Structure 1
Amino acid sequence: MVKLNGISDNPGSTKNRMRVGRGIGSGKGKTAGRGVKGQKARTGVAIKGFEGGQMPLHRRLPKRGFWNPFSTDYNEVNLGRIQQAVEAGKLDASAPVTLEALLAAGVISKAGDGVKILGNGEITAKLTFEVAAASKSAIAAIEKAGGSVRLLAAAEA
């Protein structure tokens, strides 16, 4: 009958870990398998990107791209989202739809460089928009619903 206190691994299936740096007679003393001297013989060394003196990959590849520091980052809002806000009572249909009104209604989360209205979705409310930009399809849909769009100049926005 097998008892729990009589169960063990097969002989030779496990090995004790090698304790390094415990004297020259242990076979892994002195340098503890790290070779001699230098940065990698020390602890906590990870030389990321170093390729033994060969030019590293990240320096061999050409630079690409350009970031324009004067670019504008508009908040894009679809007409369907604005119609939802009007129906929920978060946007006042009589007041003009501005960046501040959309922020207060929770339609957008941060101001950015202004608002661009996009034409995705249906709009039935007669609204006046005062925004930085709008797509052609959005302007057509707003005017079809009886509203108007006034584009703010870059200096005003």
Structure 2
Amino acid sequence: MKLHELSDNPGATKKRKRVGRGPGSGTGKMGGRGIKGQKSRSGVAINAYEGGQMPLYQRLPKRGFNKPNRKKFAVVNLGLIQKFIDAGKLDGKADITEDALVASGLVRRKLDGVRVLAKGDVSGKLNITVTGASKAAIDAVSAAGGALTVSAPAAAE
């Protein structure tokens, strides 16, 4: 058997219905859309309209709010910091600051500051100064003999 000899079983495929192709086709002239009106036109979608019934988005209660002055931190895991030190992209002996993290490419933007989380292991003694850190991250760095200092967030320039 060759590729050109392959074919579907009879009745496995069905031809697409071509509407608006003359009176002999059975779906000519108006193409099954009825007479006039919004829904007979092209490009019309009546989203979320439920025929006059109260729409779902109005039936459900409003909940919560978005804090307008919310702080957004760039998040870094300890394991990633260690990985960058092992790869030679970060100097583990020098102080690791937010600017050093940005320069190494570990953090793209500081946003409102950098927050360190405890995922991963730290093998060496590190001195890290960042805007925020989890308690577990501070404990992990201290256990390795280093120090994780949390500084106040800098004012937006």
Partner of 1:101: 100
Distance between the aligned counterparts of 2:130 and 2:19, measured in 1? 71
- Within the alignment, does 1:48 sit opposite 2:43 as a pair? no
**SS of the counterpart of 2:76?**
strand
Partner of 1:76: 75
**SS of the counterpart of 2:120?**
coil
* Contact 1:21/1:30, CA 8 A, preserved across alignment: yes
Deviation at 1:115, TM superposition (A): 1.4
Deviation at 1:79, TM superposition (A): 1.8
Partner of 2:87: 88
* Contact 1:21/1:31, CA 8 A, preserved across alignment: no
Q: Which amino acid is 1:42 matched to?
A: R
Distance between the aligned counterparts of 1:18 and 1:68, measured in 2? 53
The 1:134/1:36 distance shift into structure 2, 3 A limit, reads same
Distance between the aligned counterparts of 1:113 and 1:72, measured in 2? 6
Distance between the aligned counterparts of 1:146 and 1:28, measured in 2? 80
Taking only the aligned residue pairs, the percentage that are identical comes to 49
- Within the alignment, does 1:125 sit opposite 2:124 as a pair? yes
TM-score (norm 2): 0.71
Unaligned runs of 5+ in 1: 1-9
Q: How many residues align?
A: 144
* Contact 1:76/1:116, CA 8 A, preserved across alignment: yes
The 1:57/1:133 distance shift into structure 2, 3 A limit, reads same
Deviation at 1:26, TM superposition (A): 9.1
TM-score (norm 1): 0.71
**SS of the counterpart of 1:76?**
strand
Matches within 5 A, 1:1-157: 20=20, 22=22, 31=30, 33-155=32-154
The 1:122/1:43 distance shift into structure 2, 3 A limit, reads closer
**SS of the counterpart of 2:138?**
helix
The 1:113/1:22 distance shift into structure 2, 3 A limit, reads same
